[in-house]
Amino acid sequence: MAATWTSHFQDKLPDILAELRTYVEMETPTHDKEAVDRLGEYIAGRFRSLGCKVDVIPQTTYGNQLRVEYGEGDEQIMVLGHFDTVKEVGTLKSEPWKIEDGRVYGPGTYDMKAGIVFCYYALKTIVEQNIPLKSKLVFFWNTDEEIGSESSEKWIREEARRSTCALVIEPAAGDGSLKTSRKGGGEFVLKVTGRAAHAGNDHALGVNAIEEIAHHVLAIQSFTDYEAGTTLSVGTIRGGSVSNVVPDYAEADIDVRISTSEEAERITTLMNQLTPILPGAQLTVEGGITKPPMERTAGTEQLFLHAQAQAQLEGFNLTERGVGGTSDGNFAADEGTLTLDGLGPVGDGAHASHEHVVIDAIPGRIAVLLRLFSSL
């Protein structure tokens, strides 16, 4: 056995980067099923070659999801990640695979193809060195995380219910911290109907939908409560046609983030209680909070401390943090499953053109995964 697993994976870095390059150069925008399935087949083959049982869960709209099982026994831990990206096919032309200043750049490197590659190498070493496991490992590789896990949510929830804990291989927070809480959230759409009228001749007969929605925009913004971790942001607004007609329609999209399920309820109630201000106006509220918050519980803390101890064995310190963005970890946590997120790569630039992974941090991250896989 190597002095530390970190040095073992340090030696393997060229292979690890080559593997990641293969993933990155198969571009996988969520909506392009054919492209996503191409990488899916490759990933399935790689895990099969390690002796895993791979179930391909067929999907019609998005890519087929992969459920990858290794080991035996009644207890299982779930390892969660996705290989779809927000980057269109062809992004590689302007954002090519590139290694520069100790960083590897490319679409989907950080969010989160590297995470899957890390898991592959951790498992490969477990297999090759016959490292005993305490629980069965079930990897769930999702294909539609970037659009809210429409087709995968029910599978993720089902698998989480069977698992003693969920390890989410999403990117680490900026400084390498694990993510022990995530806000939940969703989107509301407010639709307002008024009455059209000539703005000059019949002003008094009109019901101005933009005037109506303006009242609600201010009200909705005021539901924000920073202390409770709740934010609402009216992000887009549309309405009206030409200036000399009193507009009969307006609508707004509202982004909502909450830190607790109580706040989710409070906001949902407030949104559904919006009532028209102008006589003759009508309101409809659509959408809702679709991602429950991932709350930091005493159990989460225990799991984090365990991960931190694994990192200490590798000679580095792991920290934790709560973040605003959601992931599939929110669904796992909502099933009451202990969830630790942000176990993937260190880097920056998710969804941006400077997306990259810090190469120096790769061996240590894989080492911690190996230790978690074999000790939980």
- Binding residues for Zn ion, per CB under 5 A? 111-112, 170
Cis before residue 294, ω within 30 degrees of 0? no
In the bound state with Zn ion, the residue whose beta carbon lies nearer, of 220 and 357, is: 357
Under a CB-based contact definition with an 8 Å cutoff, are residues 248 and 196 in contact?
Answer: yes
Cα-Cα-Cα-Cα torsion 295, 298, 301, 303, nearest 10 degrees, comes to: -100
C-beta of residue 346 within 8 angstroms of C-beta of residue 105: no
CA–CA gap between residue 293 and residue 261 (Å, rounded): 7
The distance of closest approach from Cβ of residue 374 to Zn ion in the complex, given in angstroms and rounded to an integer, is 25
When the beta carbons of 125 and 142 are compared against Zn ion, the nearer one is: 142
Closest CB to Zn ion among 299 and 325? 325
- In the bound state with Zn ion, the residue whose beta carbon lies nearer, of 51 and 324, is 324
Q: Which is nearer to Zn ion, 19 or 84 (CB)?
A: 84
Give the nearer residue to Zn ion in terms of CB position, either 170 or 341. 170
Query: For residue 76, which of 139, 28, 23 has the smallest C-alpha distance?
Result: 139
Shortest spacing between CB 48 and Zn ion, in angstroms: 24
The least CB distance from residue 159 to Zn ion, in Å, is: 18
The minimum distance between CB 305 and Zn ion, in angstroms, equals 25
Calculate the alpha carbon distances from 287 to 2, 156, 270, 355 in Å.
53, 22, 13, 31
Residue 258 CB, shortest distance to Zn ion, in Å, is 20
Rounded to whole angstroms, the Cα distance separating 4 from 305 reads: 20
Is residue 267 helix, strand or coil?
Answer: helix
d(CA 151, CA 145): 9
Rounded least distance, CB 170 to Zn ion, Å? 5
Between 114-128 and 33-48, two packed helices, what is the crossing angle to 10 degrees? 20
Q: Which is nearer to Zn ion, 197 or 323 (CB)?
A: 323
What's the min distance (Å) between Cβ of 6 and Zn ion? Answer: 24
Relative orientation angle of helices 114-128 and 362-375, to the nearest 10 degrees: 60
